[in-house]
């Protein structure tokens, strides 16, 4: 599997960044989390005047065999239908990205549909959906390796277009089940605490989902190997996002983390390369059960908590103006000296 070279961000510049932040025409700390963001982005870019260029949302789509076992009320074909909606500009991620100046790239990681001849879609299909993990592994070792490598290639393709700020979104009916299993196995947090309503299960549906995922855990038993956990439970879109995030950190790009599914891809990346944490901004707290515990486990504090749970990268797109505001105040707000304003004694 691909080896990544992920170095911690440049902490040597933090003192100078903090001095610049503190001497803006404001009380120390008055801009709260914007100040933390400005400092983080400055260290990522090793620069006192950071910039955001060609911000892009990469939306990875894939189907899941587990979706056919009753964990979701939606049929599997919704995945490819939503991919077409993305390409036609009609989805939530299209609306919020257009509003806030982000580009959208849609990736077929493993949708159970033939997209031959479809333009504006990045064709990286590994297979036509994973296998159900109720009685076997969702993917093979070779497929996992392929996902990681293709994810890295996608990031490099976006990076070569001038992007230094990349958000990650996803689409895949059944993928909250995969994410819940990954969260449980990587963190050892109680499985029921990792399982939510996904695309809107009622109480009966949720209980069925919990029962099925518990059965899967009993079947697979204890697994400690990173590769085996990913092969057992991941979706192609989740694994491909993992490789894409790792490459983004190697490229020293700002990584904008969306909700529950994207966070489990990041969890997998973090387990391999903890230094990726320096490059990640948690954009929002999903209303999907498990996300709060996962962010706490990862030591990440979300920018927004507005009850969203759509996926697609929408939380990142909605949060982007806050990230832009952090860079803007750092670069454009006057200092006490330049403005001729008396600082505190």
Catalytic residues: 312
Helices (H), the chain: 14-22, 33-45, 78-87, 92-100, 141-160, 175-187, 191-194, 203-220, 226-233, 236-250, 260-272, 291-298, 314-332, 336-339
Cβ neighbours around 77 below 10 Å, total = 13
d(CA 168, CA 279): 13
Rg (CA), the chain: 20
d(CA 165, CA 175): 25
**Residues 106, 91 contacting (CB under 8 angstroms):** no
d(CA 104, CA 114): 21
d(CA 279, CA 248): 8
> Quick one: how far is CA 269 from the chain centroid?
10
Using alpha carbons, list the distances in angstroms from residue 189 to 183, 193, 270: 7, 7, 16
The residues that bridge with 335 in the sheet, in sequence order, are: 24
Please name the residue that has the structure tokens 């991620």: 93
**Residues 239, 150 contacting (CB under 8 angstroms):** no
**3-state DSSP helix/strand/coil percent for the chain, to nearest 5?**
50, 10, 40
d(CA 342, CA 263): 45
């Amino acid at each position: 599997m691909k080896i990544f070279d992920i170095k911690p961000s440049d902490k040597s510049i933090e003192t100078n960044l903090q001095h610049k932040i503190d001497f803006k025409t404001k009380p120390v700390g008055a801009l709260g989390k914007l100040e933390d963001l400005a400092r983080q982005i400055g260290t990522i870019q090793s620069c006192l005047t950071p910039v955001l260029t060609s911000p892009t949302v990469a939306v990875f789509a894939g189907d899941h065999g587990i979706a056919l076992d009753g964990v979701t009320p939606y049929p599997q074909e919704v995945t490819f239908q939503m991919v077409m909606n993305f390409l036609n500009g009609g989805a939530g991620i299209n609306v919020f990205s257009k509003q806030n100046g982000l580009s959208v790239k849609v990736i077929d990681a493993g949708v159970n549909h033939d997209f031959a001849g479809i333009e504006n879609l990045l064709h990286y299909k590994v297979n036509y959906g994973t296998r159900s993990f109720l009685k076997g592994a969702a993917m093979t070792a070779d497929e996992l390796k392929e996902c990681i490598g293709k994810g890295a290639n996608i990031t490099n393709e976006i990076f070569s277009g001038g992007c230094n700020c990349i958000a990650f979104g996803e689409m895949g009916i059944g993928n909250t089940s995969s994410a819940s299993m990954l969260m449980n196995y990587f963190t050892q947090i109680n499985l029921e605490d990792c399982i939510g309503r996904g695309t809107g299960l009622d109480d009966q549906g949720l209980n069925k989902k919990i029962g099925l995922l518990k059965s899967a855990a009993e079947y697979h038993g204890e697994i400690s190997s990173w590769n085996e956990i990913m092969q057992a439970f991941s979706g192609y879109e989740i694994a491909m996002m993992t490789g894409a995030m790792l490459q983004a950190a190697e490229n020293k790009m700002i990584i904008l983390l969306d909700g529950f599914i994207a966070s489990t891809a990041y969890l997998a990346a973090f387990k391999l390369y903890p230094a990726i944490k320096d490059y990640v901004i948690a954009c929002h707290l999903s209303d999907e059960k498990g996300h709060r515990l996962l962010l706490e486990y990862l030591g990440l504090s979300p920018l927004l908590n507005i009850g969203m749970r759509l996926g697609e990268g929408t939380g990142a797109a909605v949060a982007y103006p806050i990230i832009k505001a952090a860079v803007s105040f750092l670069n454009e707000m006057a200092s006490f000296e330049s403005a001729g304003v008396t600082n505190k004694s």
